[in-house]
């Protein structure tokens, strides 16, 4: 007799998730206007002056703010990435951006996993039908699926965090695939931020849609497709093995009848 799955909403586990949700709502309401490109434009001189006077403190405060933005899924991650490029250049700005984004993703992953992940995973394991087959398919190909979700910009960052947490992905696998998978997009946006000085001088707004330009999106889609090659290979070899096994079983059955 199998044990029943654990409660989906255990009070002690759900409290951190509720706290994060409450902070996310408050942040979205009260900080939306402050987490904008216009705020960066208005405060650019003060930010540069503070960076020049307190470089290490600027790095620490910037990364802490970025982690909070990602952990709470606040509407300011793109501006934060531009700020990293503006303040620190392409390098180490890209390194700071990717590291902070990964840490923020790890925080929300851990909170969701603690609050819902184990209970939902147990229910998925105990279920039948399409949902079970889908979850099993993703788990069997965790690394390619996680990398492709990070590489393709059409998958929202917070959605990828939630999917991984709810399906019970191992923390270490989630962290390294997140870090590696967001490097291309992080470098692109950081490079845009590194050129903001000229954009500010012209009184223009940066083109954040650059990542969807064919010459940029094409390579990203190529990387995502490359990440999914093991999934395709496993599916093809599995089908071939199944056919071979079926033919061998048929021959054996025919031999018995003779």
User: Taking the domains of the chain in order of start, what are their residue ranges?
Assistant: 11-227
**Over the stretch 133-177, which tens digit does the pLDDT of each residue have?**
556 666 677 888 888 888 877 778 888 888 888 777 889 999 999
Task: Using the predicted structure, report yes or no on whether residue 21 has a pLDDT greater than 90.
Answer: no
Number of CB atoms found within 10 A of residue 203's CB: 7
* Degrees to nearest 5, angle at CA 220 with 41 and 159: 70
Can you give the pTM of this predicted structure?
0.77
Peptide bond preceding 92 in cis form (omega within 30 of 0): yes
């Amino acid at each position: 007799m199998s044990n029943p799955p654990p409660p989906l909403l255990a009070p002690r586990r759900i409290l951190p998730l509720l706290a994060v949700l409450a902070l996310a709502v408050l942040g979205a309401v009260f900080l939306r206007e402050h987490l904008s490109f216009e705020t960066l434009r208005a405060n650019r001189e003060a930010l540069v002056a503070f960076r020049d006077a307190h470089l290490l403190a600027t790095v620490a405060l910037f990364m802490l703010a970025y982690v909070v933005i990602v952990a709470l899924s606040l509407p300011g991650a793109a501006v934060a990435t531009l700020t990293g490029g503006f303040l620190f250049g392409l390098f180490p700005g890209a390194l700071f951006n990717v590291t902070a984004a990964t840490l923020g993703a790890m925080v929300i992953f851990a909170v969701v996993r603690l609050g819902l992940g184990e209970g939902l995973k147990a229910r998925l394991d105990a279920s039948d039908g399409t949902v079970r087959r889908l979850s099993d398919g993703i788990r069997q190909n965790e690394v390619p699926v996680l990398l492709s979700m990070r590489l393709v910009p059409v998958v929202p960052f917070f959605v990828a965090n939630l999917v991984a947490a709810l399906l019970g992905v191992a923390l270490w696998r989630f962290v390294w695939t997140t870090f590696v998978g967001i490097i291309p997009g992080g470098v692109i946006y950081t490079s845009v931020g590194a050129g903001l000085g000229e954009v500010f001088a012209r009184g223009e707004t940066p083109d954040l849609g650059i990542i969807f330009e064919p010459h940029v999106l094409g390579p990203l889609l190529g990387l995502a497709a490359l990440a999914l090659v093991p999934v395709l290979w496993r599916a093809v070899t599995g089908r071939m093995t199944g056919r071979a096994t079926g033919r061998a079983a048929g021959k054996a059955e025919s031999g018995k009848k003779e």
